Structure 1
Amino acid sequence: MPLRIGYVREHFSSPLLQFAESDEGRTITLVECPSGTGQLISRLTKDEIDVAIALTDPLISGIANGSKAYKLIGSYVTTPLNWAVVTGKNSKYDKISDLEDTTIGISRLGSGSQTMAYVMGFQQGWSPETMRFQVHNDIRGLINSVNDGRTSAFMWEWFTTKPWLDSGEVRFIGSVPTPWPSWLVAAQSSTNPESLTQFLTALSSHVNAFDSVQSRETKNIEFIRSKFGYKEQDIEAWMNTVGYPQDCLVISKDVVMTTLKTLEKAGVVRSPEGGFAVDDFVELKVAKLI
């Protein structure tokens, strides 16, 4: 039976989409999760998907806050994610500091849009206890909320949001890059380790093909333009910033522990007595921990 792979349909998922279109694609079924990592974690928990390719911080904070439904099995993107801070086209907010004591829009509780809002607040010196959030499910709901005044701003990946900036529907008032590599792979705790290893091995080959110098300069640009409709200059700009792992089975212990340390400072997680143990986060029957 094919593995059910949950993903967000955006430019980062291009190697996965190429995998799905290849002969090996019969071994997987893609399940789109347009609301992002919060929805991916929910579907893992409800046994609606076997694997999630999702943002580092919500995956790690979910386990740190008690979830036993999944563990980390691999890496997907090795570079930070640049989160745009987005407000309405006619709003009164012009810089990040203006957002203190306002209501921030998020896609779901526990999503990357929420955890990164906490990180932004930590960087600004705001107390986590004073931050307020309103759920709007997806980017269309979030855009509507900043333009009708229900929320002051929201955070979303820069290039994914840029078409709405270009159309004049929203404004960017800053950005907050993640202090960690941006995408990891997680799986339900009950999923067969051998199937997961086979999936990640195959994914690695498609990631390496996508990440080659030749592909970056030629077919990647046309693939992303045809799938997502982005402008060529935006695709080239993104390609200059993104990095992928050579082996998707490898997870860095430092990535897990450094992310936890930052999330703890931001008030997203709380360390248990004795501290966090990396084994609680990583499925060692699958991942190669370095």
Structure 2
Amino acid sequence: MVTIKIGGVPEHFNLPWHFAIEDGAFEKEGIDLQWEDVPEGTGRMSKLLRNKELDVACILTDGIVKDIIAGNESRILQVYVASPLLWGVHAPGNIEAENTRQLEEAKIAISRYGSGSHLMSFLLAKKYGWDTQDIDFELVNTLEGAVEALSNNKAQLFLWERYMTQPIVDQGIFKRLETIATPWPSFVIAATQDCIAEKEEALVKMLAIINRYTADFKQIPSIDRTIASHYDLQVGDVQQWLLRTEFSDDQLWKSTVDKINEEFSAVGIIDREVSLEELIYDLPQAEEENDEP
């Protein structure tokens, strides 16, 4: 049995992994897949990969690209969710401001430096022509930390996945001012180079399994109600999310890397551009299953 330690956010995107684990799909292929929920998000997962505390992470595309540029030796194995991530731009529920432009001087809550909530703040600032050198951040670690920060005026803006924050908006704790979508695929699957070197065959099998589960995920009967119940969401919101979300088994595209280089260079997040070859590792293709007797 080959052990693979994998992490991801405790959100609806990762439910296919849990279904596969519960079904024993990895175990049947000799893989002890040990899932760790990482509510702090991509910044925390990048650190866990660097420290070899995780072998694999299901991680935001922009976040891991930024961290590989900064020295993380992990490599991207494939895209996991090809559709853009829809970020809600949130303010305290009782704030008088009616649009984001009014909050140029706001302190922005982020889960971690290098996380999506951090990186997307720069793209939000660029949209409104704000000085990205002057952004003031409040480190809050988790969604719950952001609720506390905005409720107590420690921060006035917070970017997080639009559907996971809907219950907080419905309660009036957050006011959603707008939504912005990433100009690239949401999530990729990345692994440490040690894991690639030592467990390549198991990684090939792991990807083949999760790609089967994501291919069938949206066709599961009553999956909208299952997700809604599991993550305390409204069925209608889940149905919207399902319509927007496209899982993938493709490798990262050069055009995606070019777009990240362009956007991050424009706001000063990166000090050099990165090539596709520096970011990815192409695993061998899994052998096709033979169903003949």
Q: Do these two structures clear the TM 0.5 threshold for a shared fold by scoring above it? A: yes
Q: What is residue 165 of structure 1 aligned with on the other side?
A: 169
Residues 74-110 of structure 1, C-alpha deviations (whole Å, 9 max, x = no match): 1110101110011111124321112213210000111
On the 8 A contact 2:257/2:274 being kept in 1, the answer is no
Distance 1:259 1:200 in 2: 25
1:119 deviation in Å? 0.8
Distance 1:286 1:151 in 2: 46
Shift in alpha-carbon separation, 1:193–1:253, aligned structure 2, 3 A? farther
Counterparts in 2 of 1:1-290, with a 5 A limit? 1-26=2-27, 27=31, 28-68=33-73, 70-191=74-195, 192-211=199-218, 214-215=219-220, 218-245=221-248, 247=249, 250-271=251-272, 275-285=273-283
Distance 2:234 2:178 in 1: 21
Moved more, 157-166 or 193-202: 193-202
On the 8 A contact 1:73/1:286 being kept in 2, the answer is no
On the 8 A contact 1:93/1:152 being kept in 2, the answer is no
Moved more, 15-24 or 129-138: 15-24
5+ residue gaps, structure 1: none
Residues 2-58 of structure 1, C-alpha deviations (whole Å, 9 max, x = no match): 211101111111211111111214321101101111111111111111100011111
Amino acid at match of 1:236: Q
1:285 deviation in Å? 4.3
Distance 2:70 2:83 in 1: 25
1:286 deviation in Å? 5.7
Distance 1:189 1:199 in 2: 16
SS in 2 for 1:137: coil
Amino acid at match of 2:14: S
On the 8 A contact 1:76/1:244 being kept in 2, the answer is yes
Distance 1:148 1:172 in 2: 17
Shift in alpha-carbon separation, 1:185–1:282, aligned structure 2, 3 A? same
The alignment yields a C-alpha RMSD, in angstroms, of: 1.7
On the 8 A contact 1:11/1:224 being kept in 2, the answer is yes
Residues 50-79 of structure 1, C-alpha deviations (whole Å, 9 max, x = no match): 1000111111111122322x1111111010
TM-score normalised over the length of structure 1: 0.91
Distance 2:276 2:214 in 1: 26
1:277 deviation in Å? 2.0
Q: What is residue 290 of structure 2 aligned with on the other side?
A: none
1:259 deviation in Å? 1.6
- Identity over the aligned pairs, expressed in percent? 26
What number of residue pairs does the alignment pair up? 278
On the 8 A contact 1:91/1:146 being kept in 2, the answer is no
Moved more, 125-134 or 179-188: 125-134
